Amino acid sequence: MHPIAKTGTSGMSALSSSIESLFKRSLKAAESFKDYNFQQYFVSHVKDDFDQIRAMKNEEDVKAALLQQETSAEDLERQSLINSMYTKGQNVAKH
C-alpha cells in the first residue's frame, strides 16, 4: 500500500508530513534542471500545485492530489535527468 493511502486515524496531520515530504522532493527535482527557464517554470508550478493542496479541506481530495503529485515528482526527476544529459555549459542567467 502506498504511504499516502494509509493515513489511518492520524488524518490530516499525517497528510501534512506527506505533503511537505513530497513538496521537498518535487522542488528538488524542479531545481535540478540545468536550463534556467525550465527550472523556473517547474519550480513555479510545483509551488502553485502544493499551495492548492495545502488549501484543500477534504482529506480524500488531498490524498488524490498527493497521488497525482507523486507521479508528477517521478516525471520531474526523469525529465531533469534527461535535461542534464543534453545541456551544454551553464546558462548566462545563472552567473
The size of the chain, in residues, is 95
Residue 52 lies in a domain: yes
Q: Is 60 part of a structural domain of the chain?
A: yes
The answer to whether residue 6 is domain-embedded is: no
pTM of the model: 0.77
Which residues lie closer than 8 Å to 25 by C-beta, 6 or more apart?
73
**Model confidence at 86: pLDDT above 90:** no
pLDDT digits (tens, 9 = 90+) for 3-57: 554 444 456 778 899 999 999 999 999 999 988 999 999 999 999 999 999 999 9
In a domain, 91, yes or no: no
Domain of residue 70, residue span: 13-85
Determine, yes or no, domain membership for 31.
yes
Residue 36 lies in a domain: yes
pLDDT of residue 82: 92
pLDDT tens figures, 54-65: 999 999 999 999
Q: Residue 29's closest CA among 64, 71, 61, 67?
A: 71
For residue 85, give Cα distances in angstroms to 2, 79, 81, 89.
Answer: 31, 10, 6, 11
User: Residue 3: inside a domain, yes or no?
Assistant: no
Q: How many domains does the chain have?
A: 1
Asked whether residue 7 is assigned to any structural domain, the reply reads no
